[in-house]
Structure 1
Amino acid sequence: MSKGLPSRSEDYSLWYNELVKRAGLAENSPVRGCMVIKPYGFAIWEKMQQTLDKMFKDTGHSNAYFPLFIPKSFFSKEADHVEGFAKECAVVTHYRLKNDEENGGVTVDPEAKLEEELIVRPTSETVIWDSYKNWIQSYRDLPLLINQWANVVRWEMRTRLFLRTAEFLWQEGHTAHATKDEAIKETEQMLEVYGDFVENFMAVPVIKGTKTENERFAGAVETYCIEAMMQDGRALQAGTSHFLGQNFAKAFDVKFATKEGKEEFVWGTSWGVSTRLMGALIMAHSDDQGLVLPPNLAPTQVVIVPIYKRDEELANISEAAKEIIDGLKAKGISVQFDDRDTHKPGWKFAEYELKGVPVRIAIGPRDMENGTVEVARRDTKEKQTVNRDAVVDHIGSLLDVMQKSIFEKAATFRNENTHTVDTYEEFKEILETRPGFIYAHWDGTSETEEKIKTETKATIRCIPLNSSPEEGKCIYSGKPSKQRVLFAKAY
């Protein structure tokens, strides 16, 4: 199954694209820039979705749904917001087709022009805050903690499966609060939720920080983010949480009556992650043989493959496998028994290696005689013989060990590819020869940030949170700097 998969070291981009397709995660659609998420890929996304949804609800949020189409006039109400998304918007101008009598087929009916164009949702702040105007009257209606699972459209020209597509799936949280402090606390809380999910479920270490003014979400006062490193040394923004201040409340006239009877504008937040996390999961852990999935997000955590020549051997193995399956399911471990007679065991081994199933159990006639099974780990490819009556407990512990091991491997890789520099020459040399994260001083100006980006293609990924102040000089301008920021080339 994995024969011919390109090597990461030879062509990382080709390796990624081929792996996504061959592992059955997604494929390109007939619509340029869009993708079809296949069942196995969607099963992984569902695990992510279910886990995050519980985390959101555990922090007091409820799900709702808002329209896909947004009146154009809504975008004009918040100037920074419309400027930030104007070039990415897909616009609906007509509401009807008609038969094309001259050329055949159908054509847009010129008589069916909309009075006001509709924008296909690139993000939902505007349409949601229009609803909040009616939902919020007094302090008793606050805080309002809403999340939406939806699809969005951003008109991308250069696309790549999961990482950047014209249409993608995501969740977007939108909350309203009585005070600035409450809104900031919410923004920071959701950043912690994202960090918890990415590190403890995706097994990807992250750096938390705030975006520069240039990189901030359109319409936000502050954007918090988590940044992860992929195996090619590039950064990937894995989640963002935005403190919106009162910008959208003022744009859509969302006020509330305080306990004292005064009328004030509410304070807002928004936060989201998308199917881009699928790309992060693939690129952070997988190898030249296929996916490496952390057990916490693997749709199938264990696969059992029988090895037999005669039907009576299969019958005995199936009986033994059933006991193991029942034991694993009782522990909440997902397991599959692959007794297909259309493929040989070696082919199945390669298939599950490609799909990244964390643990493979092989049972043959000799194992039946000895009361053992062969247990193979996907991450390290280690194999060991385990007594059949102990295998359920063994796998329960093994999956925990694997989850931690996959995280530690990614953390070690990130640490080994993180650099601290004091000169622009060293900065450029590292970018060209040893891609990774670079901590360097920056003078805080957008002008310097843009010049570095233009000359090197590296961007300031974030201003790290909780980092100690450090006096220094900007690597580009030589002007004073009070803190190092995180630079990297990014997806």
Structure 2
Amino acid sequence: MGKKLTKRSEDYSKWYNELVIKADLAENSGVRGCMVIKPYGFAIWEKMQSGLDKMFKETGHQNAYFPLFIPKSYLSKEASHVEGFAKECAVVTHYRLKNAEDGSGIIVDEDAKLEEELIVRPTSETIIWDTYRRWIQSYRDLPLLINQWANVVRWEMRTRLFLRTAEFLWQEGHTAHSTEEEAIKEAELILDIYADFAENQMGVPVIKGTKTESERFAGALDTYCIEALMQDGKALQAGTSHFLGQNFAKAFDVKYATKEGKQEYVWATSWGVSTRLMGALIMTHSDDNGLVLPPKLAPIQVVIVPIYKGLEQLDAISENIEPLVKELRKRDVSVKYDKRDTHKPGFKFNEYELKGVPIRIAVGQRDLENGTYEVARRDTLEKSIIPASDIVEKISGLLVEIQDNIYQKAKSFRESHITEVETYTEFKKVLDEKGGFISAHWDGSSETEDQIKEQTKATIRCIPLGGNPEEGSCMVTGKPSAQRVLFAKAY
């Protein structure tokens, strides 16, 4: 498997980049800033998709698909929206190529200029709300609860696999409602779904909150978010849900007839999570040996490696293993029996450790004679000898235990890296020496927020939801503060 990974303590960024590539998750492509997601990485993403899609459908949402291209005029209809995305847009100006007359190769045909430029979608609010104008006529058409799984392009100059790429995969939900209250309730529902998925499937503890005005989605009245903490003490925004008010309905003239026959603008939300979740998954759990995957999202939950000399021993082991594989699969456990004769057991052990497979079973001639299996768990690297008669029940229980253990480990880390401070001096000291989330009072002004960001590179990750807001004084200006907010340096 090549040389070992760089240690997290030596160079966290280098460790992350090496791990993504060595674990066969993704690689850089021939297109600057874009990535190739390899089969093993895509298998994890498919499990994420499947889990989230089920949760969306259980709450009444349906999937649809909208165009990749957006007319430039659509994007300019909602002023704050276009301002927020203008610097990240890829623009299509021509629709044809031709051979250069001097034989130097293919060039753009200058006679094939589009009448109106098309934007490669950075997000789909505008094209979707133009469509909703045709779909929504009456209160009977509401609520309209639509999601799409798609790719988007945001022209990033500094990219990192999964965390920030020019093109990425995501889901984006877009809903229309008859009342403000119903739209806000929808945005909060989605936030709860995202938090549930992150914690119970990804094993990633998150904090639910709202964004400050300067950090809101372009065109939103309110942005709800889940924030996670990575092992290097930096925060990562793992999902957002936006209450859009009537901004897009007014921009695209989307009205509905009420029961009383009046014409009213609808209320809107949009929400999304992306392949950035892969980055969160990797950085929350993995160690210096490689990936650590939660069983619920692991493409291979159990790998079985035979240790043998000669085909006769392999045949005997295989005959013993086949019933075990069948029984585990009956219980919806994903199992791989790796009997490749091109690689030695030691190589395979390292490979599956690097790829984060939750449980590894090794079985050799002596194990057959003793009626036992050697079981190694990836999260703790502990090994144990399990009687063959107990193996199925043991594996089922271990998968549950590993899922819970990696969540609790990440939660303990997060809890020990939330620090309350009272003064700006203390804030800067904690930021430099410890990192993590810093809970502090802020006066609510964008000027103070900008000052802190400029001087420390830390941003307000969220204004936490729930709990009992504690009044105090801003750590910078001393002005009144309604509650503590969470700061951190972030990805």
Partners in 1 of 2:184 and 2:438 — Cα distance?
28
Contact 1:2–1:354 under 8 Å retained in 2: no
2:354 is matched with 354
Unaligned runs of 5+ residues in structure 2 are none
2:88 is matched with 88
Matched residue of 1:55: which SS? helix
1:105 is matched with 105
1:292 is matched with 292
1:26 is matched with 26
Q: Determine if the alignment matches structure 1 residue 197 to structure 2 residue 197.
A: yes
Distance 1:396 1:2, change over 3 A: farther
Matched residue of 1:67: which SS? coil
1:75 is matched with 75
Normalised by the length of structure 2, the TM-score is 0.99
1:165 is matched with 165
1:271 partner amino acid: W
1:24 partner amino acid: D
Partners in 2 of 1:261 and 1:288 — Cα distance?
64
Which structure 2 residues correspond to residues 28-427 of structure 1 after superposition, within 5 A? 28-102=28-102, 104-427=104-427
Partners in 1 of 2:206 and 2:217 — Cα distance?
19
Partners in 2 of 1:2 and 1:288 — Cα distance?
14
Contact 1:2–1:351 under 8 Å retained in 2: no
Partners in 1 of 2:471 and 2:191 — Cα distance?
27
1:349 partner amino acid: F
Partners in 2 of 1:48 and 1:469 — Cα distance?
34
Structure 1, 332-341 or 468-477: larger mean CA deviation: 468-477
Per the TM alignment, residue 103 of structure 1 is displaced from its structure 2 partner at its CA by 5.1
Per the TM alignment, residue 129 of structure 1 is displaced from its structure 2 partner at its CA by 0.3
Q: Determine if the alignment matches structure 1 residue 468 to structure 2 residue 481.
A: no
Contact 2:43–2:299 under 8 Å retained in 1: yes
How many residues of Structure 1 are paired with residues of Structure 2 in the alignment?
491
% identical equivalent positions: 73
Q: Deviations over 1:358-398 (max 9, x none)?
A: 00000000100011101100000011011112111110010
Per the TM alignment, residue 3 of structure 1 is displaced from its structure 2 partner at its CA by 3.3
Q: Deviations over 1:298-350 (max 9, x none)?
A: 00000000000021111111011111101110100000000000011000000
2:101 partner amino acid: E
Contact 1:2–1:350 under 8 Å retained in 2: no
1:451 is matched with 451
Per the TM alignment, residue 104 of structure 1 is displaced from its structure 2 partner at its CA by 1.5
Contact 2:306–2:364 under 8 Å retained in 1: yes
Matched residue of 2:214: which SS? coil
Q: Deviations over 1:148-185 (max 9, x none)?
A: 00000000010000000000000000000011111111
Structure 1, 131-140 or 2-11: larger mean CA deviation: 2-11
Partners in 1 of 2:7 and 2:95 — Cα distance?
48
Partners in 2 of 1:355 and 1:240 — Cα distance?
29
Partners in 1 of 2:114 and 2:471 — Cα distance?
57
Partners in 1 of 2:467 and 2:91 — Cα distance?
43
Per the TM alignment, residue 416 of structure 1 is displaced from its structure 2 partner at its CA by 1.1
Normalised by the length of structure 1, the TM-score is 0.99
Distance 1:113 1:327, change over 3 A: same
Q: Determine if the alignment matches structure 1 residue 429 to structure 2 residue 445.
A: no
Matched residue of 1:110: which SS? coil
Contact 2:4–2:289 under 8 Å retained in 1: no
Contact 2:293–2:356 under 8 Å retained in 1: yes
Per the TM alignment, residue 93 of structure 1 is displaced from its structure 2 partner at its CA by 0.6
Q: Deviations over 1:58-111 (max 9, x none)?
A: 110000000000000001110010000000000001111110122511001111
1:410 partner amino acid: A
Contact 1:2–1:289 under 8 Å retained in 2: no
Distance 1:2 1:401, change over 3 A: farther
Matched residue of 1:381: which SS? coil
Contact 1:305–1:363 under 8 Å retained in 2: yes
1:388 partner amino acid: A
Per the TM alignment, residue 2 of structure 1 is displaced from its structure 2 partner at its CA by 6.4
Contact 1:244–1:267 under 8 Å retained in 2: yes
Partners in 2 of 1:216 and 1:103 — Cα distance?
51
2:486 is matched with 486
Partners in 2 of 1:100 and 1:454 — Cα distance?
49
Q: Which ranges of 4 or more aligned residues in structure 1 deviate by more than 6 Å?
A: none
Partners in 1 of 2:299 and 2:418 — Cα distance?
32
Matched residue of 2:366: which SS? helix
Per the TM alignment, residue 469 of structure 1 is displaced from its structure 2 partner at its CA by 2.0
Matched residue of 1:111: which SS? coil
Partners in 1 of 2:4 and 2:268 — Cα distance?
50
2:477 is matched with 477
Distance 1:2 1:237, change over 3 A: farther
Partners in 2 of 1:226 and 1:95 — Cα distance?
41
Contact 1:282–1:292 under 8 Å retained in 2: yes
